[in-house]
Chains A and B, each alone.
Chain A
Amino acid sequence: MRVRVRLFGPLRDVAAKAEGWRELREGDCVGDLLASMRGEGGLPAEMLAASAVAVNQEYAERGRVLMDGDEVAILPPVSGGGCES
């Protein structure tokens, strides 16, 4: 099965090449996908660990089982709003 990986913000800056469709095994979950991406290098482990994952535009846990055609977005900590933080 295939899922579409999207990256944003600082993650895309360092790993734009990791975006796009990827082949997974049936039954693979979000955590499996992240582990395989980490294994290939290019995606800094500490950035991945601090990131959230969304499957089809909804936040998903690492154990969420992926389905063919899913859109998986890896989201670094968000920084919207003004500068008042």
Chain B
Amino acid sequence: MRVELVRERIDSAALLREIKVGADGAVCVFDGIVRDNTRGRRTLHLDYEAYEEMALKQMRELAEEAVVKFGVRDVAIVHRLGRLMVGETSVLIVVASAHRGAAFEACRWVIDTLKKTVPIWKKEQFVDGAVWADGEKFPEEIVGVGE
């Protein structure tokens, strides 16, 4: 299970090549990239930062949980930090499985859960200013009650 935070370009093709074994019937890839605008406002670049120790721990748990929950064979999660330009990959999720159904489902679950729970933030630099992206609301069980 390959789980990494990196600062250099993510080599999607290499990761895909690396994960496949003979028992696999399907590999599902989610490639999250930097878009050139947010609600019509032109993006120059994004800066990603993470609570690195915790993010890695959470990503490892996600990969392990996906294997158990969906019965896939292997999961790789690589997230890039630092400055990313339009079109570059910020997160790559690769799921290898004997069957496509489980691969699709696991891949979808991993990215959806990562976006809600893994402590990574992005700041968007526009031509006319910079703002932190609105995060996803934390699931109830994480924020807890009483505030």
Contacts and interface: CB of A to CB of B under 8 A. Distances in A.
**Genuine A/B complex:** yes
Interface in B31-62: 31-35, 38, 43, 46, 48-51, 53-55, 57
Contact of A78 (B53, B89, B121, B147): B121
Name the residue in A8, A13, A53, A63 with the highest tally of chain B Cβ atoms < 10 Å from its Cβ.
A8
Name the residue in B89, B134, B137, B144 with the highest tally of chain A Cβ atoms < 10 Å from its Cβ.
B144
A83 B51 contact: no
Contact of B51 (A8, A31, A60, A84): A8
Q: Is the interface of B mostly helix, strand, loop or mixed?
A: mixed
B119 A63 contact: no
A82 B48 CA distance: 10
- Interface range on chain A (Cβ under 8 Å from partner): 20 to 34
B142 A80 contact: no
B145 interface: yes
Interface of B: 31-35, 38, 43, 46, 48-51, 53-55, 57, 79, 89-91, 111, 114-123, 132-138, 142-147
